[in-house]
Structure formats: structure tokens, C-alpha cells
Structure 1
Amino acid sequence: MSESSEFQPGRPVVLRGGTVLPMDASRRVLTGADVLIVDDRIAAVGPGLDVPEGTAVIDATDGIVMPGMIDTHRHMWQTAMRGYGADWTLTQYFVWYYLESGRLFRPEDVHAGNLLAAIEAIDAGVTTVVDWSHGLQTVDHADAAVDALRSVPGRAVLAYGNIQQPPAEWTATPEFRAFARRIAGDDMLGFQLAFDVTGDPAFPEKPAFEVARELGVPVTTHAGVWGATGDDSIRLMYDHGFMTPETVYVHAASLSADSYHRIAATGGSVSVSTESEQSAGQGYPPTWAIRAHGIPVSLSMDTSVWWSGDLFSAMRTTLGADRSREHLQAQAKGDTVTHAALRAEEVVSWATRGGAHALGRDDLGSLEPGRKADVVLIKNDHSPVSFPLLNPYGHVAFQAQRGDVHTVVVNGRVVKHAHRLLGVDLAAARREIDATVAHLRESLGEEGWQKGMNPDVPETKILDNPYTYTDYRSGSTHGG
């Protein structure tokens, strides 16, 4: 689909007359307001703005204008298998991807998954995605991942990982170092290292942290995952000085207060994937504990092999999980919760400003003059759910869905308008996905493909962690 002639590069754009959630520090709600975009920046926010001659006008009446959402943890390469693992436990996921069939993915399969995931993200108003790309078995796989991300008009961060090799091994190769140098410093494509810490006292992941420090890139890690990573992992990182404000701890759902104190003291943030934690079993969604320790929060959806690829579901389930625990805790003591501690405006902030903070991007996550123009308009004149608009934060968190995303702007470019993607070849993405699915089905055989939706777990593979580069096993991962 070609880009609309209405939105040519360099032409200013104004969204007129919407309910604007600037997501600034005051969490104001502006009614009947405009958002003016000039080049790649927010130029002005307010009612009745004067705009340059020739500005493209988008009618935001009866809609909500908010910053683009930011997903800080998504295994984009797995999107070709959308819904395949709907009934998996985390152990089955580990067996299928880490120990058995993950090796079947070719560079072109990583490209297919990343392409579809990137398109899906902007369609749902997610303008920045951290591609937690732990299927990069070779640099060719990494190049394919990057090619896909750069072919879609969204913002991304490649979190480079390889579950088939020890982190100390793949980070040490000259091929990886050359790749890291090639993609450094791109405003539209950031870079992180993605690997986990098993808790092995020998700390086999230490060389990978040293490479990250040498390259000056953040580390994102699955922390506090029941049966896989726990307090020993956090303690090793802390004792060796590898916990930094840039570190993102994914899930953090099975940790003790000691670990939360260490994360808080070193300034890191937590990426909560509530749909995943509720269903797969990493631990109870930890927003209640994270809030108690003052740790910054961002949201993520994890993987489309299980769950939805949007942050509306993430916000909704996060509110539900946090409030459910609050009620249960009170009722266990014979008390009644009269005012919810977690409010809708907080989770909307986590989906926007929280993600920007986690990525160290203070130019994203809010609609303020001078910030990058990543903007979403939620408006659906054909839906009875679009009115009345009484509590905009509550509407975003509980009422809206991806089909209500009317317009999306990334870096000043309109990439979706009137519910239709612009500049995206969805048919080509479908062809790539079809080829990947055909490859996987043929490689597994039809019986294996069907069995994979509920795979057996051999007794020898019910592990404390799914990695094979260490024999370390510890009950400390079973509850902080």
C-alpha cells in the first residue's frame, strides 16, 4: 500500500480537537486540544493552535490523542507461530524453543517473524518495540532481524541474544563485535544485549556483561522467573557491579525483597508482561511489589506464540492482576478494599513514559514540545464503545482495543490513518509467514507439528533453567 499523498515527508500535521493525554508529569487531560507536528517533533499542544500554511489536518474530535506506546520486551521472531503455544506452560515453551525446535529457524524465518511483528505493533499503536531477539543463532540471523525492523516505519530496539549458545561465547566472536559496531547510534533502531543469569556461582555470564560494558550498551534479562532465574542471579549481578540504571529486568516475578532492594538501589527498571506471568507461570505479576519498592515499571506482551500483540491487553490484565491480589490480601484478613491503589492513569503511564524511561529515551513517551512525534489517535466513529468519553485513562485501559487505533505517527511520519496502514505491504509479509510455517511443518512432520501444541516434557528436561551451558541447579529459583 503506498503512502497517502496527503501526508508527504516534510509536510506539517495537526490533530485537531481531540482529548489529549500529554502524559507529562502532571498527567493532565486536555479537552478540545490540538497537537501540531513539524518534521519529526511535537511543535505545540493546546486548543486552537495556529499552524503553518499547508498543514495536513486530522480530525481528532471525539478521539483520544496520546503518545505512542512502548513495548519493552517482545520476542518478535516467534510471531510467525502466532497462537501455536496457546496452551503451553513455560516449561513446554522452554522445551520447544530452547532445547528442541528453536534451532529450526533460518535467517529468513527470523525476518518473517520480525516483519509481521513490526507491522502488528504500529497497527496497534505501539510505536517502539524492544525486539528481545534470543533466536539469533548466527550474525546472518541478526542481519535478517534488522532488515525486517528497518523495512517497517516503526521504532525498534534490537536486544541481541542467542539461546543456543552460552552468552560468554556468542558475545566474544569477532562477527558479533562487527555487527554491534555496524548498528550503533541509530535513532530509529537501538541496541541492547539480551541474556539471562542462571545463578551459577561460577558466574559464566560475567564475560557477556563485560562485553556490554565495553560496547556501552544496556543489558535486558529475564529475572525472577520461577524455576529458571532468581535471587542468586540478582546477587551475582550486584556483587560484580553489573546492575545499572539502564538494566531492564523482565518479569521480576519470583524475587525476594532483597532483590527488589538491589534493583531499586541501582536504578534499574522492570518490564512486566502480565498476560505471560498469569498464564505461563513466571510468578504472580509483580506490580504490587515493584510499586512498594519504588521501582520504575514498563509493560510488554512477551510473545505472540501465546498472547495478544498489543498493549491494551497488557494494561487491562495488569490492572486486573494487581487489583485482584489487593482484594484477596484484604479479604484474607477480613478487610475490604474501598479505593484501588493502582489507577488506570498509572498503567497508561507505564505503557508510554515508563517504556521511554526504561530505554533511556527522554524524547519519547509524552506529547510535549520538542519531544519526538510518536503519536496515536484512538477514534472509532463506527463503534458504540467510543462514547461517552468520561474517563480518558480508563477508556484507554479498559475500553479501547487495537481496532480503535485510527492514526499512528512515528517520528513525524503518518504510518496509519483512518484505520489503514500506510506504506506497508501486508501481502508480502503474509507470503513470508506462509513460507516459514511450511518450513517448520515440513521439518517437524505433521505428527510432530500437532504434538508441538502440547508437547511432552521428559523428566530429564524439567529443569531449574533451560540453558545447557551450565549444570547448576538450585531450589532458590522456586520462590524468593
Structure 2
Amino acid sequence: MDSRKRILIKGGTVLTFQSNILVCDQLDVLVEYDKIADIGKNLVPSLETEEISAKGMIVSPGLIDTHRHLWQSAFKGYASNWKLMEYLNGMLGDIAPKMTPSDVYNGNLLGALEAVNSGITTIFDWSHIMNSDEHTEAAIRGLKVSGIRAKFGYGTPGTSVWEWFFESKKSHPVNAYDIKKKYFHSDNDLVTMALGIRGPEYSEMSVTKKDIAMGRDMNLQISMHIGGGAFGPKYQGIQKLHQQGLLGSDLNFAHGNTLDDKDFQLLADYGCSLSITPEVELQMGLGLPATGRAVKHNVICSLGVDVVTATSGNLFDQMKIALQAERAIQNEKMYQNGQMSEKLTIQDLDIFKMATIGGAKTLGLEQKIGTLEVGKQADIILIDVDKLGIAPYSNPVSTVVLYAKEHNVDTVIIAGKIIKRNDKLVNQTIDELILECRLNSYKFMEPSNEKLATEKL
């Protein structure tokens, strides 16, 4: 019997979109099992319905993180002063080969719970730590145990940064077929499968072509990094994919910082999606975030955390950084032309869309999640706006984008199941998990003997 039940969320400020129109009103939300059954005023609960008071709270669609490497969750601060090449050497060169399946399980579980705790109900786990079938199973199990909705991006082994991430000649592991058959049986499951490939900036074009063909043969969404710093102009990835006739709506690209207008127009024309991870991009020298250019060209775009080795793990920070970085970019252009901006051309509402319905569209899940609508999956968060630091509030959109933090997330519901209640995760032993991750991380302090990747550039 399904353990989920009827839940009535009463008296909150519902913040969502319906038919792309902003809805912000005092409404009740009725959940039946895994779906939203009704939204309206003064809904009356039946005897078997649990009632949750949302007075003084914003009721929002769950946030959606479309690009994160969850296995790295136990290494906070390791990359706090690293640029991109140092990250590739340090994480993929030194640490990844030493990871055990247990390490991967702990990292994925810890990272997924951190995400849920901060109001993220769906995540794309771009997992390039597939060192063995046991590593893969551990990563998947960590996602499933957490209760989060996820796309598991089956990536490459983390056994050698040389072989897999520098003009690689190695094709994507064909184990992907067996993994899908063994662990992923329905698109209606909470955790589904995608493919995380290297793409033209990290593998030869013939390899990219073969990898994309495999993903399409498996009917999976395919994600790759693109336009990351100097790699973008050097490899011209979007143009090469276009020339090979490979662009399509099943392709998701992370970053896009150094793409040009022609590239963005191609992404829009072919219905490709873009995951922007502003905090890590600013630090690691990938280029200025592409938020404004993606919006300008009507590209499907969303936000991601990327790596908690260098950045915070919540999407609230990414929303704020994406908004203010784009405003800085636009203001600087005006200043360089001897002008002062009279009006901000990107609004907090644009960013809230990216974190909700934009994320759903990026993952091809807009019919299920991303907004609060009758018939959609009940992925809902309640944000307490009566706490110090966020109160008093006047604009729900700016409150979410600019002021909210993890501790403001009072309740998290995923597919009708309460995962966080009264600011506490339900049925999770967090202290033991954190202690185990801390103790295990000591063995990663000594660098490996693999040469620095910079020597090959």
C-alpha cells in the first residue's frame, strides 16, 4: 500500500506559474498521493487528510538543480582557491581514482540530502565516477535512499583524467546499456537515467558522435560541458555539433560562458537546454555567466550548483549570484559607453523561472514538475518568511531569489511524500553520515602520481 496520503496545505502564499503567468495568492493546495489534486481558497479537508498550516509561508514549486557532481559532496573547501585546471587535476586526477563505492554512496547521499534540505526537489547528478559497476550502483542507491527526484547522468570512469578528459579517444562505457536495464525500469520512477558525456571540448569529435548515438539509441537525455573558458573558442563545440547534424532537443549543455551569438541561436533553434552554474564559473575562470545571452536568445535555461568543493550547495545562492552577476555585466557595458543604466533589464522573476519551470524544461520534465498545477507531481516547498533575515517581506519573488536560505525552508514534499518537516529532515541520520564522510576524507589528502594535466595543454 502507498505510504503517501492526502495532505492539505492551508493558508500560504502560493507562488507559481500557470500558462506562463505568475500566480501569487493566498491559496490552499490539496495533495492526493503523489499529485496535486486541487488548488483554491478555503478547501475543506476530509477526515483522512493531514493538514499543514502554511500561515506566514510561501508555498513554491520545488527548486530544480540541473547540474551537479554529487559524488564530491564530502570535499567541501577542497577547491575553494582552484581554477579549472587545478580542479581537473585535483578532483579528477588525484581524488576520483581513490574513491571506493562506499565513498560514492556517502557522497551522493550527503549531497542529495543537502539539496533537499535547501528546497531542491529535483537534481541532475552528472556522475563521472563510474570506476566500476559497484561505484555506479552505490551512486544510484544514494540518490534513491535520499528521497530526491533525480536524473542520474551516467558518466565516465574517474580512473584517469588523462584518458577521459583531454581530447579523449575513449568512447563512453557501453555498460550504460546494462545499467539502464538493471536499475531503470520506468520514466515514472523518482530516479531516472540520463547520459553525461564529455562532448567536443573533452573528447575527439568522432567519440562525441558515437557517444551521442548511444544516448539516442537508449532514448536518454544527453548532457555535456561546453563553452568553459578557453576550451570554448579552441574547440568550437556547438558549431562542430551543428556541422555534424547532431544538435537536438535531447542535448543539455552546462556553462556556455564563451559561446557566441551564433551558438546561442543554434541552441534556441534546436531546442537545446543550458545549465548555468554562476558561482563556480566566476571562480574557476570559465567566463562570465551566460544568463543574459541565454534569455535574450530564448534558450531553455536553468541553474545548477556544479561542485560543492568550491561553492555553496543551495540554489538560493546561485539565484542571487546569477541575477546580480548579469546586472553587473549589463551595467558595465553601459558604463564603458559613458552611460548610466536607467532600468534593470533582468528581473528576479526571470531567475525564479530558471530555478523552477526553467529547470523542469531543461530536464524534459515540464509536464510533471516546475509549477504547482492540478495533475502535476506534488513537489512543493514551504518557505518560512517570518524569520529574522527574511522578515518582513513584501515581494514573494524577491524574497525567494534574494533573501531565502536553507533554514527558511520549513517543509519539503516530493511526489507527495514529506521529506522535511518543521525545518528537520524526516527519517535521516545526518550526524552519522557527516562523521563517516569526514573520517573517510582523510585518505584523500595525499596527491596521486598522475602528472598535472596542464603539462599536456
Q: Distance in 2 between matches of 1:31 and 1:386?
A: 19
Aligned residues of 1:268 and 1:295 also touching (Cα < 8 A): yes
Residue 383 of structure 2 corresponds to which residue in structure 1?
378
Tell me the SS of whatever aligns to 2:73: helix
Residue 179 of structure 2 corresponds to which residue in structure 1?
179
| Counterpart residue identity of residue 417, structure 1 | R
Aligned residues of 1:246 and 1:358 also touching (Cα < 8 A): no
Distance 1:170 1:203, change over 3 A: closer
Residue 245 of structure 1 corresponds to which residue in structure 2?
249
| Counterpart residue identity of residue 207, structure 2 | P
Q: How does 1:387-398 map to 2 (within 5 A)?
A: 387-398=391-402
Q: Distance in 2 between matches of 1:119 and 1:244?
A: 32
| Counterpart residue identity of residue 215, structure 2 | A
Identify which of 351, 357, 368 aligns with 1:363.
Answer: 368
Aligned residues of 1:168 and 1:208 also touching (Cα < 8 A): no
Tell me the SS of whatever aligns to 2:124: strand
Tell me the SS of whatever aligns to 1:82: coil
Deviation at 1:394, TM superposition (A): 0.5
Q: Does 1:135 align with 2:122?
A: no
Residue 194 of structure 2 corresponds to which residue in structure 1?
192
Q: How does 1:14-93 map to 2 (within 5 A)?
A: 14-93=8-87
Q: How does 1:224-373 map to 2 (within 5 A)?
A: 224-230=227-233, 232-361=236-365, 362-373=367-378
Deviation at 1:210, TM superposition (A): 1.4
Residue 413 of structure 2 corresponds to which residue in structure 1?
409
Q: TM-score, normalised by structure 1?
A: 0.88
Q: Does 1:124 align with 2:118?
A: yes
Identify which of 209, 212, 230 aligns with 1:209.
Answer: 212
Q: Distance in 1 between matches of 2:181 and 2:134?
A: 15
Deviation at 1:100, TM superposition (A): 3.3
Q: Distance in 1 between matches of 2:224 and 2:50?
A: 42
Q: Distance in 2 between matches of 1:183 and 1:237?
A: 30
Distance 1:25 1:338, change over 3 A: farther
Deviation at 1:235, TM superposition (A): 2.1
Tell me the number of residue pairs that the alignment of Structure 1 and Structure 2 aligns: 444
Alignment root-mean-square deviation, CA: 2.2
Aligned residues of 2:154 and 2:176 also touching (Cα < 8 A): no
Tell me the SS of whatever aligns to 1:151: helix
Identical aligned residues as a percent: 27
| Counterpart residue identity of residue 297, structure 1 | C
Q: Distance in 2 between matches of 1:211 and 1:168?
A: 16
> Structure 1 stretch 290-299 or stretch 196-205: which is displaced more?
196-205
Q: Distance in 2 between matches of 1:357 and 1:145?
A: 24
Q: How does 1:452-467 map to 2 (within 5 A)?
A: 461=454
Tell me the SS of whatever aligns to 2:410: strand
Q: Distance in 1 between matches of 2:329 and 2:411?
A: 36
Gaps of 5+ in 2: none
Deviation at 1:386, TM superposition (A): 3.5
Q: Distance in 1 between matches of 2:218 and 2:377?
A: 26
Aligned residues of 2:170 and 2:207 also touching (Cα < 8 A): no
Q: TM-score, normalised by structure 2?
A: 0.92
Deviation at 1:420, TM superposition (A): 0.6
Distance 1:218 1:241, change over 3 A: farther
Q: How does 1:396-475 map to 2 (within 5 A)?
A: 396-441=400-445, 444=446, 461=454
Tell me the SS of whatever aligns to 2:151: strand
Distance 1:292 1:28, change over 3 A: closer
Identify which of 91, 94, 98 aligns with 2:88.
Answer: 94
Q: Distance in 2 between matches of 1:463 and 1:366?
A: 46
